[in-house]
Amino acid sequence: MTPNFQQRRSSLIHILKKNGLGAAAFVPGPNFYFFTGLKFSLMERPTLMFVTDSGDVLAIMPELEREMWSAAMGGATTFYWQDSDGFDKVFSDLAYELGTTKIGIEGQRMRAFESNALGAVFGSDTIIDAQAELAKPRLLKSDYEVKLIEKAIEISEISLSETLENIETGMTEIAIRAILMQRMLANGADGFAFDIIVLTGGNAAKPHGIPGDTQLRPGAPLLIDFGATYQGYSADITRTVFCEHITDEHAEIYEAVLAANIAGRQMAAPAITCHEIDVKVSNTLRKTGFDDLVVHKTGHGLGLDVHEAPNVMINNHTPLESGMLITIEPGLYRSNDIGVRIEDDVLITDNNSRSLTKFKRSPIILRSAK
């Protein structure tokens, strides 16, 4: 099944008109892919696609991308440019074609030099950061998108199981990460959703730490935060396991995180707000007496981006809707000792929610480690 990209672009028209925007501008990335099905690299050459409030598509495209762009988007008004000529003229030509108008941009994606180039020909006061509005067409996942995410999750979970079977005491974080990456690619991933996090011992207390040469030791936690991509869509899963045995104190921390994960998944449903879920999950963690070990929000949206709207955090009163896909990922982190995070990918359904991740959540002890 192929997405209807024209229909997807049509969903922008109401958003543009509602916000008084004459056009939206996209650089290579998830939105560009969502509206065209094309993947370009975000490099030094400005590559932009525009959708107007009347549904027209225009583009600024490097000459070396002509073949791929024209094959898929032959009806678009496109301004091609050569490296030898520079890109100033095509921005001026585009501005002449569009006329005076306000342009919404992705404030979290577009770089300063592209924004400045647009501001130079349209006027800086006409370039509007419309990140939140432009993200709305991707908030509710279609059945087609859910199937791709489920495949990314399936690949990820099979690969994690295979990796855990091959871990030995004394392996480094980098070595374990390499096994996991190899297994994901072998099992059909087309890439990785983000830089995979594999941390053991006290390093696990760094939520976004960088894997290194620290070795896995008996009794140590091993935090693995990872996800495959499949046809552009991401999985995002975290599990924390233990080498050979687990101390009573570490088990208590683990059970506190698991209780919060369960509370969040059970609460997720249409009309419940992101704020309400975050409060529930955070309070579940804090009631266990580990207040000082809570350092981050409950979760985020998931799809073409590994972090996208909606953010599951305090003061975000966005109500959940059927079709939204969020992560529930409570964690507790004690400096130089332990970090535990349990993360699941949860689809909001018509009446409730369904966890797309199925990997075991009860404590895993790597007894086969040598």
- Token pair belonging to 236: 């995002």
**Going from the N-terminus, what domains does the chain have, and what CATH number goes with each?**
5-138 (3.40.350.10), 143-366 (3.90.230.10)
Q: What residues in the chain have per-residue pLDDT under 70?
A: 368-370
The pLDDT score that the predictor gives to residue 2 is: 79
For 29-56, give one letter per residue: b (16+ CB within 10 A) or e: bbbbbbbbebebeeeebbbbbbbbbeee
Max CA pair span of the chain: 70
The CA distance from 355 to 322, in Å, is 13
Element (H, E) at 346: strand 344-348
Peptide bond into 310 cis (omega under 30): yes
Strands 365-366 and 325-328: unpaired
For the stretch 307-324, pLDDT in tens is 999 999 999 999 999 999
Q: Quick one: how far is CA 274 from the chain centroid?
A: 17
Q: What pLDDT score was predicted for residue 368?
A: 59
Q: Do residues 150 and 228 make contact, with C-beta atoms less than 8 angstroms apart?
A: no
- Residue 338 CA to residue 321 CA, distance in Å, equals 35
d(CA 258, CA 264): 10
Sheet containing 228-230, strands listed edge to edge, beginning at the edge strand earlier in sequence: 191-192, 228-230, 233-234
Q: How far apart are CA 168 and CA 369, in angstroms?
A: 4
Q: How far apart are CA 237 and CA 230, in angstroms?
A: 14
Beta strand 365-366 with 237-243 is: parallel
CA 87 to chain centre: 31
* pTM of the shown model: 0.95
pLDDT digits (tens, 9 = 90+) for 338-363: 999 999 999 999 999 999 999 999 99
Distance CA 318, CA 85 (A): 47
Our CA angle for 223, 227, 228, nearest 5°, is 145
